[in-house]
Amino acid sequence: MYQLTYKGKTYTYPEGATYKDAAADLQKEKEEDILLLSVNGKLQELRKKIQADAAVNPITTADTVGMETYRRSLVLLAMKSIYDVLGHSKVEKATVHFSVSKGLYMEVRGDFDRSTDWIARIEERMRQLVGMDLPIEKEILNTDDAVDLFHRLGMYDKEKLFHFRRVSKVNIYRLNEFQDYYYGYMAPSTGYLKYFRLCPYSDGFVLQMPVAKAPKEVPPFAPQNKVFQVLKEASDWSEKLGIHTVGALNERIVRGDLNEVILVQEALMEKKLGEIAAMIAARPHCKFIMIAGPSSSGKTTFSHRLSVQLTACGLKPHPIAVDNYFVNREDTPRDEDGNLNYECLEALDVEQFNKDMSALLRGECVEIPSFNFVKGKREYKGDYKQLGESDILVIEGIHGLNDALSYSLPAENKFKIYISALTQLSVDEHNRIPTTDGRLIRRIVRDARTRGSSARDTIAMWPSVRKGEEDNIFPYQEQADVVFNSSLIYELAALKIWAEPLLFAVPKNSAEYWEAKRLLKFFDYFLPIDNDDVPANSLLREFIGGGCFGL
């Protein structure tokens, strides 16, 4: 008999019982479905047998890791349903591309009739499988056997991925006869996967799913056409280059010709910067370039490189950081936890910002403030600016796309740019790399280098950063004149050598350990590259250092 303890209460189970049995007993304590158990601080899937006495904690769909498990399991359900409905002989490839709205954009290539209601039939099949409550079983295969399996199944991206795996075993998930690989924990059965919707979009559909803050609600589909087009363009480009998955990237590293990939990627980014600068130069009334994007998008380097291109177009760019218009610390609003909230619009002196920008637009000379973060006060140090005919301000700040920040400035005088690291690389055809993971890794590396922060510190504050982005940046991204993708297809191979030692330093007894362990496991897929191959003006230099802009 085994004893599991939760909140001071002990539950007893016979040999052969599973954590799913324990979750059934604990479910009355939770409103949302329990998908995993933390057993003595280690996450366990519910299908696993109880092996020892332990302290447990239920992980539900209201927890981030629980919702990630739910969404990952839904992809398996969708893939099984695609092959059931369309037929294995008709499906050439089914791919999860990237995040759209609150779901995942998926495409299916193959010789099947697209004039029919094929997407509706896939959704219907998914719901049938949910009603059947089929077990999602885990098998452990030798890595060589997994390579052979995915070759037979025609999942060549997975075959290529496991050619570079150093571990000897691979976890394979099975839903009836359908076998697949997924990076991370999975739900115990299809009966848990009740909330989803398929929304036709572009050449495929979006698998719309709940989020942790509302785990039983499928949010309405909200197309993000500008961001989607940039993601689609990046995905198409990586396909043409032949590097759309980690396995393909590793192949190029092994072949020794990744430097060409780096140069092409950097050239493509420079070309985009030149096109944006030309668009701005073609608008004679444009005096304010408003740049916004989520954390670790590379906004600072982007501003420098855009300024170079603007100069080449005959303009005189001048950088202004909106952060210099913070209200004094004693006037800063506080969030619901009582902490200073620098993310909200009210943390800025919006009135003074508009007064100064309007004066500049009238041709007046204005002294621009500088915020002293040590003293928590705005200071004036003789930084005077006046706009001539060719002068233009490059304004970077979290609220740059929100017209409430620049309410007094006419629309014709503003050019809005949304920048984000929209990752185009996937682990394989069914396992995408979340954009937030790429940005978190960038920030871990940069914070350690420039601020002396530990990976634990950065991971701990990441949820509040993400909340600020959800509230203040993402709602305005479609209002941008241009969306710029700052992701580099090779960057995770370059960041690996910096990030791994920092992640290994996260203590096992800390709340941040799970996330650090997940990221370390993720880096196991990548071969590292020599950072000397990264150009001095690369946006990646903002994070790893050694760049020509002194960042």
> pLDDT by residue (tens digit) across 153-180?
989 999 999 999 878 899 999 999 999 9
Length of the chain: 551
Alpha helices in 339-432 (DSSP H): 350-361
pLDDT for the residue numbered 167: 81
Does position 551 have pLDDT exceeding 80, yes or no?
no
Does position 524 have pLDDT exceeding 90, yes or no?
yes
> pLDDT by residue (tens digit) across 306-318?
999 999 999 999 9
Most distant CA pair in the chain, distance: 82
The helix/strand count (H/E) of the chain reads as 15, 23
More confident residue, 195 or 236: 195
Q: Work out the average pLDDT over 448-462.
A: 94
Does position 455 have pLDDT exceeding 90, yes or no?
yes
Q: Is 396 helix (H, G, I), strand (E, B) or coil?
A: strand
Let me know if 47 is exposed, middle or buried by CB neighbors in 10 A (0-12, 13-18, 19+): middle
Contact (CB, 8 A) for 393 and 315? no
pLDDT for the residue numbered 340: 85
pLDDT for the residue numbered 174: 96
pLDDT for the residue numbered 428: 93
In the numeric block, the tokens 């589909």 are attached to 221
> pLDDT by residue (tens digit) across 369-379?
999 988 999 99
Does position 67 have pLDDT exceeding 90, yes or no?
yes
- C-alpha 461, offset from chain centre: 16
Confidence band, pLDDT 50/70/90 cuts, at residue 278: very high
Does position 141 have pLDDT exceeding 80, yes or no?
yes
> pLDDT by residue (tens digit) across 240-251?
888 999 999 999
pLDDT for the residue numbered 342: 87
Q: Is 410 helix (H, G, I), strand (E, B) or coil?
A: coil
Q: What is the CA radius of gyration of the chain?
A: 25
The predicted model scores a pTM of 0.91
> How many Å apart are CA 79 and CA 77, to the nearest integer?
6
Confidence band, pLDDT 50/70/90 cuts, at residue 393: very high
> pLDDT by residue (tens digit) across 418-442?
999 998 899 999 999 999 999 999 9
